[in-house]
Amino acid sequence: MSHPQLTVPKRGYLANILNVPPLIYPFQYNPTQISESKANTLRSSTPAATLSSALEATLGFAGAALSLNISAAASGFKTARQKLARTLSNTELYDFNVEGPRKFSFKFVVDGREKRPGEPDRRRSDSGSVLPDLAIIRSFVFPALADLMDLASAALGPTPEGRVFFKKPPTCLLVMGSRSVEGFITDLKITETAFNADLEPTRAEIEIQMTENTDSISFIVDAFKRIGLTAYNSAYEDIGEVLF
């Protein structure tokens, strides 16, 4: 396929439009890879068990089931299962403890020596400097300017963080196609790899690690979207293969 026939991909963004000033950074070159991770922690739930206690728990479950005591039967089944498992194997048993946040990591490049289609002249100078790009990206990890609501709150009383004109770093919205994730940038690494005659960087490699903010509209929307996609696309036709 010749280059003129290639479809120009949509741009991804890093953004926070409520910040002062608004932060809107379109990727010059979209990340070629985004890594997502989520770790949940477990706690030990190992009951002491012998063969006699396993049989006793099993009989208790059977009695609750026969009496149609659903709650007791469910609890009894779990206890019987755990004690029988503990009897057959001396390994630790675990249960869910704490849900961990989603984390994202990605890399991208910015090169001031190339102007992409649709970029305004103010975003690219003849010097090729990428300092304006880096200023926007760095703004996601440095304290932001307070807005009018922050100043009004400070005038009425002390702020929780003891800051008046600056507040904590803003959240960052990662937009890539249908993906929209708001989070906190926890690690930012900038590697400047080329410079102009004034020793200003003209090319930089950016590495970002971000932790999702669950107290956000994007998280709630994404949760419903995930549930909907799962409900529609689950392979119900293979349920027999799973069971048997």
- What pLDDT shows up at residue 1? 40
Q: How do the domains of the chain map onto residue ranges?
A: 3-38+101-233, 41-98
- State how far the Cα of 16 lies from the Cα of 184, in Å rounded to an integer: 11
8 pLDDT band (50/70/90 cuts)? low
Q: By three-state DSSP, how is residue 102 classified?
A: strand
User: Dihedrals φ, ψ of 104, to 5°?
Assistant: -125, 145
Share of residues in the chain with pLDDT > 90 (%) = 53
Tens-digit pLDDT profile for residues 24-42: 999 999 999 999 999 999 9
- What pLDDT shows up at residue 2? 45
First-to-last alpha carbon distance for the chain, in angstroms, is 47
194 pLDDT band (50/70/90 cuts)? very high
Between these two residues, 5 and 242, which has the higher pLDDT value?
242
Inform me whether the pLDDT recorded for 94 exceeds 50.
Answer: yes
Inform me whether the pLDDT recorded for 215 exceeds 70.
Answer: yes
- What pLDDT shows up at residue 50? 54
Pick from 8, 9, 7, 6: which is nearest to 176 by CA? Answer: 9
Inform me whether the pLDDT recorded for 226 exceeds 80.
Answer: yes
Between these two residues, 157 and 92, which has the higher pLDDT value?
92
For 229, residues 6+ apart whose C-beta sits below 8 A from its C-beta are none
Tens-digit pLDDT profile for residues 51-70: 455 555 555 555 555 555 55
Q: Which amino acid is at 120?
A: P
- What pLDDT shows up at residue 170? 92
- What pLDDT shows up at residue 148? 56
Question: Rounded mean pLDDT of 114-119?
Answer: 79
- State how far the Cα of 76 lies from the Cα of 57, in Å rounded to an integer: 7
Q: What single string gives the DSSP state of each residue in 136-202?
A: HHHTTTSPEEP-HHHHHHHHHS--TTS-SSEESPPPEEEEETTEEEEEEEEEEEEEEEEE-TTS-EE
Between these two residues, 84 and 38, which has the higher pLDDT value?
38
- What pLDDT shows up at residue 48? 57
For 239, residues 6+ apart whose C-beta sits below 8 A from its C-beta are none
Tens-digit pLDDT profile for residues 195-212: 999 999 999 999 999 999
Q: By three-state DSSP, how is residue 95 classified?
A: strand
Tens-digit pLDDT profile for residues 131-187: 999 999 999 999 887 765 665 565 555 655 555 566 789 999 999 999 999 999 999
